[in-house]
Structure 1
Amino acid sequence: MMRETSALSACKDSVRAFLAANFYVGDVAGLNDDSSLIDQGIIDSTGVLEVVGFIEQTFGIAVDDCELLPENLDTIQGIAAYVMRKQHEPAPTGALVRVT
């Protein structure tokens, strides 16, 4: 449990740093984990796509179109929880593996 809490905290820190580096965030310290990034004007629809790209590159997961939901991508807490869930999903059975 402690390891999961630490991983979640590290993920939130990474997301917060990405947002601060790539979007206008007036007060990074005041950016709460559960504040809506869209409602605060930090990200817009294009920004969501940038966040998705960040998630895929940084955490090595694929974001499916059906997962582009506010509960997954509108808050730092939501993004971190989504990443943790995706990283702990079992690999699909019967998936093709390319060997080069």
Structure 2
Amino acid sequence: MEQIKNNIIDYLKNNSFMEREMTLNDSDSLTQSGIIDSIGLLELIDYICETYSIEIPEDMLTPENFDSLQGITNLITRLAK
């Protein structure tokens, strides 16, 4: 799970969503902290689907699953089994 979190953080930093020196806690809101907007979220979802070879069901496209590192990591872990 730690590797998934690191991959997501690297993606966010490499694609200019957040500063290189910025730290992000597992439960920090990506939207409320201004890291990601709706377009960025769509790009992140594409990245996750491609990187982990998963399809995300429409009913799982919720704020709980995509607004924090913990939510994203839990979602990927559930779907990648």
TM over 0.5: yes
Report the equivalent of 1:14. 7
Report the equivalent of 2:54. 61
Q: CA RMSD in A?
A: 1.3
Unaligned 5+ residue runs, structure 1?
A: 1-7, 89-100
Alpha-carbon distance in structure 1 between the residues aligned to 2:16 and 2:59: 25
Matches within 5 A, 1:18-37: 18-26=11-19, 28-37=21-30
Using the TM superposition, give the Cα deviation of residue 23 of structure 1 relative to its aligned residue in structure 2, in angstroms: 3.0
Matches within 5 A, 1:1-100: 8-26=1-19, 28-88=21-81
Contact 1:23-1:43 at 8 Å conserved across structures = no
Alpha-carbon distance in structure 2 between the residues aligned to 1:15 and 1:73: 11
Number of corresponding residues:
81
Unaligned 5+ residue runs, structure 2?
A: none
Read off the aligned partner of 2:6 and give its amino acid letter.
D
TM-score between both structures, scaled by the size of structure 2: 0.90
Read off the aligned partner of 1:67 and give its amino acid letter.
M
Read off the aligned partner of 1:33 and give its amino acid letter.
D
Read off the aligned partner of 1:75 and give its amino acid letter.
S
* Matched position secondary structure for 2:70: helix
Give the structure with higher Rg (CA).
1
